[in-house]
């Protein structure tokens, strides 16, 4: 199984490891993403972003992120939005997709995407938006929804949204969990009334389409 977003380096298959700004890790893994998590934005941001900018230029950099806006971050939302826009510009510079962390800030995320005319793929990671948010986001063709084990919580927003998000826009990730992907695949298969192999195939196809690096 391909894994669009992961924090644990030993995932066996095609995997985008979120390395943050770890330059050593960048040299060791086939595919990585680099960015500054919105909860880690502080007065060292500019310094750290220089490292992100360098890492983004490497051939095994598959994506920029996770980056985004989180209302529970100690940084102000306006600051987070500015730094998110910097990540979007960087992604545009290297034509790389973006992996987004968003907690209760979808409208700010969308307005940043609009402000930068960002048209590369956008992956909403560990997606947990409600049906209304999902209806809104689906209208944008470059937005993809990646589900982690959070969607397994009974009656959560993510599991309800699964009903309306087309399979062609659904991805699967482990995030920071070491649990297998199988239960997530089963939930999606059940919702979409297809076999688990179809869900797996669709995820892998989408991964290959979005991640242009060939390692």
**Least CB distance from residue 117 to Zn ion, whole Å?**
26
Closest chain position to Zn ion (CB): 175
- Contact assessment for residue 17 and residue 58, using Cβ atoms and an 8 Å cutoff: no
Pick the closer one to Zn ion by CB: 72 or 139: 72
Interface positions, 63-102, toward Zn ion (CB under 5 A) = none
Distance, CA of 101 to CA of 191 (rounded, Å): 24
Sign of the alpha-carbon torsion through 112, 113, 117, 118: positive
Residue written as token pair 């599991």:
159
**Which tokens sit at 210?**
């979005």
Pick the closer one to Zn ion by CB: 37 or 140: 37
The contact pattern for Zn ion, residues 134-153, with x = CB under 5 A and - = no contact, is --------------------
**Least CB distance from residue 173 to Zn ion, whole Å?**
8
Pick the closer one to Zn ion by CB: 5 or 81: 5
> 181: how many CB neighbours lie within 10 A of its CB?
22
The dihedral region occupied by 97, where left means phi > 0, alpha psi between -120 and 50, and beta the remainder, is beta
The contact pattern for Zn ion, residues 161-180, with x = CB under 5 A and - = no contact, is --------------x-----
* Number of residues located near Zn ion, criterion CB under 5 A: 1
Pick the closer one to Zn ion by CB: 108 or 175: 175
Pick the closer one to Zn ion by CB: 99 or 199: 99
**Least CB distance from residue 194 to Zn ion, whole Å?**
27
Would you call 106 exposed, middle or buried from its count of C-beta atoms within 10 A (0-12, 13-18, 19+)?
buried
Closest C-alpha among 28, 82, 21, 10 to residue 56? 21
**Least CB distance from residue 43 to Zn ion, whole Å?**
23
**Least CB distance from residue 125 to Zn ion, whole Å?**
6
Distance, CA of 137 to CA of 119 (rounded, Å): 14
Cis peptide bond N-terminal to 101, omega within 30: no
**Least CB distance from residue 170 to Zn ion, whole Å?**
17
Pick the closer one to Zn ion by CB: 71 or 115: 71
Which residues of the chain form contacts with Zn ion (CB under 5 A)? 175
């Amino acid at each position: 199984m391909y894994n669009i977003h992961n924090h644990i380096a030993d995932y066996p298959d095609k995997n985008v490891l979120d390395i943050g700004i770890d330059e050593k890790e960048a040299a060791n893994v086939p595919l990585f993403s680099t960015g500054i998590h919105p909860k880690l934005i502080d007065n060292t941001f500019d310094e750290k972003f220089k490292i992100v900018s360098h890492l983004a230029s490497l051939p095994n950099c598959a994506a920029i992120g996770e980056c985004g806006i989180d209302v529970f971050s100690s940084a102000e939302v306006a600051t987070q939005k500015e730094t998110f826009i910097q990540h979007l510009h960087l992604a545009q510079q290297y034509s790389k997709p973006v992996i987004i962390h968003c907690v209760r800030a979808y409208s700010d995320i969308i307005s940043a995407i609009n402000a930068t005319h960002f048209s590369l793929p956008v992956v909403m990671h560990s997606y947990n938006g409600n049906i209304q948010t999902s209806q809104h986001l689906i209208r944008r063709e470059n937005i993809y929804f990646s589900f982690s084990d959070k969607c397994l919580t009974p009656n959560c927003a993510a599991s309800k949204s699964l009903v309306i998000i087309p399979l062609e826009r659904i991805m699967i990730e482990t995030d920071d969990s070491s649990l297998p992907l199988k239960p997530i695949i089963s939930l999606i298969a059940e919702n979409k009334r297809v076999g688990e192999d179809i869900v797996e195939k669709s995820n892998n196809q989408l991964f290959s389409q979005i991640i242009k690096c060939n390692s």
